[in-house]
Amino acid sequence: MGRRNRKGDPVHGWFVIDKPEGITSTKTVAIIKKLANAKKAGHGGTLDPLATGILPIALGEATKTVPYIVDRTKEYEFTVEWGRASTTDDREGCITATSDIRPDRRAIERLIPNFTGLIEQIPPAFSAIKVGGERAYDLARKGKTFDIPSRNIRIYDLALLGIPDCDHALFRVVSGAGAYMRALARDLAIALGTVGHLTQLRRTRVGPFSLDNGISLDELKEFGHIAAVLEYLLPVETALDDIPALALTGAEASKLRHGQAVTLLRKEDIERVIDLSDGATVLATNQGKPLALAEFSAGKVRPFKVLKL
């Protein structure tokens, strides 16, 4: 990989990793951080070790944009096994109940509309949800009994992709933030008069990141130089594709970099802000380069996250 700065280099941008099964999101971040020799790294939404697929990893200043990825729409494909419930709602848990009922295609397709739109969901017992200040999975591992309150989640689309055999069904789902696919698999089974658990899960998209621009850990590891690895680094602003950009002059950019508000009330400024609503979040740029996330309000642009690129 060549010579490295032991403390890491100031690397900024996004890697779209196609995470393999059997590795945690945290471990994946550590591997990418080492391969890129980056000072700072984080991920845009946890994937369980059992799951594969898109894990966006932010380096350097891109970590400031992580919240704009975590809250984006996500797409998954998952397989449910009917007839067996588990402690974890997936194949890694202990079997807690069984049923001889196996739903057919007609029953499944008739049920799907009940699981689209705004629905209530109780997260799995083995999840990172905090209960009384402790993680639910820690309480579950200790064998403690506890309740997790239900919450509203958004399912934009749910489709049955196939029934490989009477025990399994494959689904595709497009969801909002906070939806657990393990809980969705569990609840589908219960609503169909049986029990079930998730056996396979693949995330195919997170916001602007999809399998089309993803790369596997094995592929990155094969490169012999940091420069080759960094060729797959996407710009920081890739995560902000749904936020309007606002071009600033050099003098305006200088003020914004120092945390100062920029006033845009002159006639010549109208074209730049005419499409912006009061209170809108914008990506301030200068000569095509991102400067800061800012709020446009009352004719002023006030930075709240300056990007030091």
Distances (CA, A) of 56 to 16, 42, 209, 210: 5, 9, 7, 9
Element (H, E) at 221: helix 217-222
Phi, psi of 258 (to 5 degrees): -95, 15
Hey, which residues are catalytic here? 48
Count of C-beta atoms within a 10 Å radius of residue 106 = 8
Question: CA distances (Å), 176 to each of 152, 156, 180, in order?
Answer: 10, 7, 10
- Helix H or strand E segment including 281: strand 280-286
Dihedral class, residue 123 (left if φ above 0, else alpha if ψ from -120 to 50, else beta): beta
Residue 37: alpha-carbon gap to chain centroid: 23
CA distances from residue 282 to 126, 171, 208, 244, 255 in whole angstroms, order as listed: 38, 36, 17, 5, 16
Instruction: Fill in the amino acid letter for 103.
Output: P
Distance of CA 80 to the CA centre of its chain: 22
Distance CA 112, CA 80 (A): 14
